[in-house]
């Protein structure tokens, strides 16, 4: 049995923080004035005001945004899609570098943009809530006794209800594939000892040579049939993953988890193997992003594919299935049976559930049907696959799990 595979996109984090002052933003929210005024000052000391930054010059020149100052606050007209802005900077720098003599401006704007995005993801969920920071710290606490105490005293009802509710129905075999950089899901998983295997297997994925097994050298290939447990896979990285910037260093490909206090100042951290600076490990919002760029992402993507391939149920929440994310689309498409495999009607995909406002859009639904092979499921899955659609997360939870 392959269990359930949950796929989480930005919509899930946005929905679960929508009552906060600053919900985790969707792609079109990042440059809204209130976000810039709140989070720009966090990006680093000594950074120019937003209106004097390289990024604001790019936005106003290439994205027709007007930026005005009014009593020390930026007033920004429009909020271009952050993926489009990042991809523009990336392509400009890597392909069209000779077109502009303002090369430093492009590089600087890209650096500012990444720091700004990370600041929002880190601080937006709950800037002032001490409980939030307590759980975050607890997640990194290796002393189990202390962790138990913190879990006992914490009232999880307050935070991240959607993520908590979904965590409550996870069986050991279920896998979570997240495209989000934020820490919502791990803070909820970290509260329940039942879920500690997700963190154990993550440590192994980060560094397979530190195996929990007594005979680590016997496991030189992926043997998922022996491991019925699920994984917690963050395919686009995370604001608390870091790796070495020196591509000749082992730590470049073997990332590690840092605590939330270090996430605020990654520029102060040094690699313990070669002494080079470290950086936060995220797959930037770029059309040509590739899991191949890092051993860790490639392994995570392969584990995701294996789990999708044997899943009984796939549930995608707040994920938009973007056309340009080719590797993610490939991942969904290979959830079907191998072309030459005889169908085993007992064990494979039975249901795909999509939870997203776009489910009212026929094009979106058709795209998903095509990706998962739902319309000709008998041929590619061995039997019919049910497709369930929910336009919002609340009605999904109410119908499938029970009231929030």
Positions that interact with Zn ion (CB under 5 A): 244, 246, 249, 251, 271, 273-274, 276
Cα separation, 237 vs 281, whole angstroms: 6
* Shortest Cβ 202–Zn ion spacing (Å): 20
* Shortest Cβ 404–Zn ion spacing (Å): 44
For Zn ion, the closer of residues 180 and 253 by Cβ is 253
For Zn ion, the closer of residues 187 and 294 by Cβ is 294
* Shortest Cβ 252–Zn ion spacing (Å): 6
For Zn ion, the closer of residues 122 and 242 by Cβ is 242
Q: Which two tokens stand for residue 118?
A: 């990370």
For Zn ion, the closer of residues 297 and 348 by Cβ is 297
Cα separation, 89 vs 98, whole angstroms: 13
* Shortest Cβ 278–Zn ion spacing (Å): 7
For Zn ion, the closer of residues 165 and 251 by Cβ is 251
Question: Do β-strands 232-234 and 175-178 pair in parallel, antiparallel, or remain unpaired?
Answer: parallel
Query: In this structure, are residues 195 and 170 in contact, taking their beta carbons and an 8 Å threshold?
Result: yes
For Zn ion, the closer of residues 249 and 305 by Cβ is 249
* Shortest Cβ 223–Zn ion spacing (Å): 30
* Shortest Cβ 254–Zn ion spacing (Å): 9
For Zn ion, the closer of residues 23 and 277 by Cβ is 277
* Shortest Cβ 334–Zn ion spacing (Å): 34
Q: Which two tokens stand for residue 196?
A: 């500690």
* Shortest Cβ 335–Zn ion spacing (Å): 36
Q: Which two tokens stand for residue 174?
A: 């279920």
What lies within 8 Å, CB to CB, of 220 at 6+ separation is: none
For Zn ion, the closer of residues 243 and 307 by Cβ is 243
């Amino acid at each position: 049995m392959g269990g359930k595979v949950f796929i989480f996109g930005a919509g899930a984090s946005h929905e679960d923080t929508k009552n906060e002052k600053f919900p985790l933003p969707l792609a079109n929210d990042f440059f809204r004035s209130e976000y810039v005024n709140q989070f720009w000052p966090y990006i680093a000391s000594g950074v120019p005001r937003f209106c004097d930054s390289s990024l604001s010059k790019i936005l106003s020149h290439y994205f027709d945004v007007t930026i005005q100052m009014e009593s020390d606050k930026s007033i920004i007209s429009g909020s271009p899609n952050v993926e489009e802005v990042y991809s523009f900077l990336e392509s400009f720098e890597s392909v069209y570098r000779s077109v502009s003599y303002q090369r430093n401006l492009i590089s600087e704007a890209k650096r500012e943009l990444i720091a700004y995005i990370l600041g929002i993801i880190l601080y937006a969920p709950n800037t002032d809530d001490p409980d939030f920071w307590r759980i975050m710290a607890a997640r990194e606490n290796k002393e189990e006794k202390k962790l138990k105490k913190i879990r006992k005293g914490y009232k999880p009802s307050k935070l991240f209800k959607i993520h908590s509710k979904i965590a409550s129905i996870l069986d050991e075999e279920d896998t979570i594939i997240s495209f989000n950089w934020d820490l919502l899901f791990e803070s909820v998983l970290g509260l329940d000892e039942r879920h500690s295997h997700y963190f154990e297997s993550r440590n192994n994925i980060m560094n397979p040579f530190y195996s929990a097994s007594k005979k680590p050298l016997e496991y030189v290939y992926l043997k998922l049939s022996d491991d019925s447990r699920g994984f917690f896979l963050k395919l686009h990285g995370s604001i608390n993953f870091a790796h070495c910037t020196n591509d000749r260093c082992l730590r470049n490909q073997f990332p590690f988890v840092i605590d939330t206090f270090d996430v605020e100042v990654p520029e102060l951290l040094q690699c313990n193997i070669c002494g080079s600076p470290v950086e936060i490990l995220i797959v930037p919002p770029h059309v040509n992003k590739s899991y191949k760029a890092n051993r860790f992402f490639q392994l995570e993507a392969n584990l995701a594919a294996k789990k999708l391939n044997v899943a009984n149920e796939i549930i995608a929440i707040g994920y938009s299935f973007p056309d340009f994310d080719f590797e993610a689309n490939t991942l969904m498409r290979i959830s079907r049976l191998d072309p030459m495999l005889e169908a085993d009607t007992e064990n494979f995909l039975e249901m795909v559930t999509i939870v997203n406002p776009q489910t009212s859009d026929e094009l979106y639904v058709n795209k998903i049907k095509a990706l998962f092979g739902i319309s000709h499921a008998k041929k590619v899955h061995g039997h019919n696959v049910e497709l369930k659609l929910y336009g919002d997360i609340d009605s999904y939870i109410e119908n499938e799990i029970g009231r929030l």
